[in-house]
Structure 1
Amino acid sequence: MSNIDELQRRITAAMDRIANGISNAGGKTSSENQVMAAALDDEKLANAQLTERVRNLKSRYDSTLLDIQKKTDAADERVSVLDLELQRMRKSNDQLRQSNSDLRKANEEGVGEPDLINKSMLAEIESLRAARAADVAEANIILGALTPLLDQVDNVQEEGSDA
């Protein structure tokens, strides 16, 4: 029986030590939990701030992308107009060359045909109109490219005068 009493005493002592260890560890765990909770709250706040920044950056990106798309579409349209005007000018120049060739042949033969002279003049007038239209289209492309730059200069000057 003394053996049982000895075992019981040892088990009780071990249980006391375990209880003391748990109560001491429980105090440490509670303060560690508070530190961890504070760190978690800080990380949640940082995450929310980063999420908002990403949302703002995406909004700015989408806005800039839309602006670039509009500018690209406008530039494409101006280039298309220029291309059409250049084709028109080439066609009228071909007509002018043909009329002039026919007129030269008629003059070499000594036959001055008023119809050929009229065709030549009409072709030349059309060529001049097409060249002017091509010049206007080219000027519009240049203006389209310069307008954003001039707007930026105006904005910088306004900001400089406000400061």
Structure 2
Amino acid sequence: MTQFPKIQARFDAALAIFEDAAAQSGDTAKTQEQAARIAELEAELSAAQDALDESNDRFEGVKAEQAAAAEKAEAQRVALVKQIDTIDKARVAGEKQLTKVRQFNKHLKKLNTGLRQANEEHVGDVDLINASLEAEITQIKEQRDVDLEEINGILARMTPLVEGN
């Protein structure tokens, strides 16, 4: 490609020589020699133009590949951001559920302690037993929710690996 301007200059110089020679003399041998030289330079110019066109085509192909790669990278980045957001939301929800479970466990321990004391005194408190059982059922439900959140978090992390993303 750097030779194109040089070839163009040589072609112009040869053309000028040819025109000058044709104007100044009627020497056909010299004119034919210069015409042959001009034809040679025109062939070089044509070859250089073809090489330039081919290089431009390759350059456009590389630009298209680069754009496709950038688009794919952006799609992967967006997918990863969504995945991180999903995992973060699941983590926050799991932490909230875990806090609830801990509170229910404390309450259940308190109720069970009161129930043991009532049993030691041989006084069965129906309301205390009922409250204890309700707290235990609530604690079991909350524990199940925490387990579900944990499973969903694991699945969210594994889904891209299984899908091959």
- TM-score with structure 2 setting the length: 0.63
Tell me the residue number matched to 2:151: 139
1:136-155: per-residue Cα shift (whole Å, max 9, x none)? 22222233334444445xxx
Q: Structure 1 stretches (4+) deviating beyond 6 angstroms?
A: none
Give yes or no for the alignment of 1:63 onto 2:75.
yes
Give yes or no for the alignment of 1:41 onto 2:39.
no
Structure 2 counterpart of 1:39, one-letter code? A
Consecutive unaligned residues of structure 1, counting only runs of 5 or more, are 1-18, 153-163
1:105-141: per-residue Cα shift (whole Å, max 9, x none)? 3334444332222222121111111111112222222
Tell me the residue number matched to 1:116: 128
Tell me the residue number matched to 1:98: 110
Shift of 1:29: 6.1
Consecutive unaligned residues of structure 2, counting only runs of 5 or more, are 1-12, 18-33
Shift of 1:46: 1.6
Structure 2 counterpart of 1:40, one-letter code? L
Q: Following superposition of structure 1 onto structure 2, how do residues 5-84 of structure 1 map, counting pairs within 5 Å?
A: 23=17, 27=38, 33-84=45-96
- Cα distance in 1 for residues equivalent to 2:104 and 2:118: 21
Tell me the residue number matched to 1:4: none
- Cα distance in 1 for residues equivalent to 2:49 and 2:72: 35
What is the percent sequence identity of the aligned residues? 29
Structure 1 window deviating more from structure 2 (105-114 vs 86-95): it is 105-114
1:40-80: per-residue Cα shift (whole Å, max 9, x none)? 22221121111111111111112222222222222223223
Matched residues, number = 132
1:63-101: per-residue Cα shift (whole Å, max 9, x none)? 222222222222223223322222221111111111112
- TM-score with structure 1 setting the length: 0.64
Structure 1 window deviating more from structure 2 (122-131 vs 80-89): it is 80-89
- Cα distance in 1 for residues equivalent to 2:162 and 2:59: 41
RMSD of aligned residue pairs (Cα, Å)? 2.9
Structure 2 counterpart of 1:43, one-letter code? S
Shift of 1:103: 2.2
- Cα distance in 2 for residues equivalent to 1:144 and 1:67: 12
